[in-house]
Amino acid sequence: MHDLPTGDLLRFLNGLRAVRHFLPDPIPDAVIHDLLEVARWSGSSTNRQPWEFIVVRAPDSLTALSEADPSNAGHLARAAAAIVLVMAGEIIDEETYDEGRLAERIMLAASAHGLGSCIGWFEGANGATAKQILGVPPQRLVRTAISLGYPDEEAHRARPKRPQARKPLADLVHWERYSEVLSAE
């Protein structure tokens, strides 16, 4: 089914991280095309495929989008490109699920190409600002933009480190029925 041994594939999946600092190097068209193909083939509720994509490369547009919601999308200004998810805006609960699934698949495809990525979110009225910047029709929904670029590892190393630990499975997993879990820690 896949070319990677299972352990390598699991390490790849577990290694996905959000990248917010990028090198200025452009992303080849063929790589963007691959990401869009992965996005196109993502599953959706009842196969509705309630999405369209806007590829943004112009630095002015990336900066404007980052300024639309600086706390949630500020990293877009440092990206080489972004893919903005334009949702149909019809069945919000289903589309929210589909949108998250779609965003992560794009991020995984980006990582397979050696790119870093991060999900940017336009909260509330900031989505309307992003739609205006991009010329998206009013009936469509814009909440998510995925920044893309080659990771700036030097900038990453210079950032203050926060713990990246994960809760142990013993604190998260229940078998057969929900029961209170008490960690040994």
Cβ atoms < 10 Å from Cβ of 96: 14
Annotate 144-177 with three-state secondary structure: EEEEEECECHHHHHHCCCCCCCCCCHHHCCCCCC
Residue 100 vs residue 3, higher pLDDT: 100
Tell me how far apart the alpha carbons of residues 117 and 15 are, in angstroms, rounded to a whole number.
Answer: 13
- Of the candidates 106, 41, 49, the residue with the CA atom closest to the CA atom of residue 79: 106
Amino acid at 88: A
Q: Where are the domains of the chain?
A: 6-157
91 pLDDT higher than 80: no
- Structure confidence by residue, pLDDT tens digits, 141-175: 999 999 999 998 787 777 766 766 788 888 888 88
CATH top-level class for 6-157?
alpha beta
pTM of the model: 0.86
- Burial zone of 55 (CB within 10 Å; 0-12 exposed, 13-18 middle, 19+ buried): middle
